[in-house]
Structure 1
Amino acid sequence: MGLSRAQKVKKHGELAAEAPATPRTPREDRVSAAPRRQRRSTELPAAEPTKTKRQPGILIAVVMIIGALLMFYVNILILPEFAHVVAEGHGVPELQVTGYSPEWLAEFSRIIGQDGANLYASVHWSTGLLAPLVMAVGWILFLVIYAKRGLERTGGLVVTGLFPAVTLGGNVAVEQAVAAPANAGLATLSSVLMSTRWVLLVVLMFVTLGVFLRKMRERLQTFDPVAANEQRKKKFGRS
């Protein structure tokens, strides 16, 4: 015969009188005892922005090539054509690497005349102006980025700065000498400046070649073929 609630409370206490509303199954007990696992997020992590490596060498190479092409255009195409057509094969001052005499310049002035002198000056203040300036900008950038601090960079920058200054100064001097062929001093000054600019150009080429060879030697010394191969595998996904 079952006990009443009051009797159960009296005999076993308050908690013993309370019966579970619904009996729990063994499976529910195991589930409740097991630690709850956090739901994995299905959202992919935000992609990091790709970092593009700056390559100043490309810009520097483009500027240097443009300057070299302009120099080539002026000294290999325009001026030889002027010497052949206008100066009647006499030659032009810019292409006299070892200089010229006042008599030679006076003959040049006589042959080209006033119209030829104006055309000659127009070459100086168009392509002849851009060529040394663009070339100097390209070489300055090259030396600032790649030349060693000290004599290599300072000497290269001095030569690079002198080149356009001497070139433009020579253009002005030769125009004045052509306009006043009897002035031997102007003719001599223009001859010295024209020869000096070729010397500076040769020195600048040697400085550039020296910097380039040094950088190549340093890269070869620090080159690790194993690391380069691993990087190539990661980049192209090859095993």
Structure 2
Amino acid sequence: MLSGDRRDPFLYTGFMYKILLMGPQGSGKGTQAERLSADLGIPAFGMGQLIREEITRGSKHGKNLERIIMRGDLISDTEAADLLKRRLSSQDTQHGYILDGYPRNIEQYNAFDFDQPTHVLVIDIPREESLRRLSGRLTCDGCNKIGIMSRTLQPGDPCGCGGVWRQRKDDEPSAINNRLTIYEEETAPVIARYEKDGLVHHVDGVGDPGQVSERIRGAL
């Protein structure tokens, strides 16, 4: 490895990691995706990020996605798969990638037929823990960074990027419970499919991010 390389020598062995990072809302997928990305030297992204980037790019496809979202609709599973296929053709994914929270349902699983993951990491936390974490979650309206409400961080506080920390409406208890039920009904069957292929590694997501990272290292 080159001098100044921040990749983790414990994990970085030249193996091409194609990781799907899954788990219920509040399990810390985004945080662990960022850590793994730094450790392995490969990009991490989720479908929401890909959609935002395509819209920002101002492409014909991006403008179409923006119209769909402005109507309050969801993009189709086929459109999502096409967007992902283009992203995986980029140069920076040729040595691996980390995909956060996709596929979410069997339809997306079936559409994701153009690549095969090497690992499916499932971060498990109890429903009560999801509710506790998400009810105190804040999101920056500028950079989409996630924070936890505390004495030093409250809704309306400025973020370093210039945005403002806000509590999302879908982080209210009833909305959280609904999302967790959807995960159990729609995403659990996807995980079961990957388990049949021997790709799934369950990781206990309770504890601080550093502890969870160590468990992920052990799984890999």
State if a TM-score over 0.5 links the two structures: no
Higher helix proportion (structure 1 or 2): 1
Point out the structure with max Rg over C-alpha: 1
Higher relative contact order (CA 8 A, sep 6+): 2
More strand by share: 2
TM-score band by shorter chain is under 0.3
TM-score by length of 1: 0.22
Q: Under a length normalisation based on structure 2, what TM-score does the superposition of the two structures give?
A: 0.23
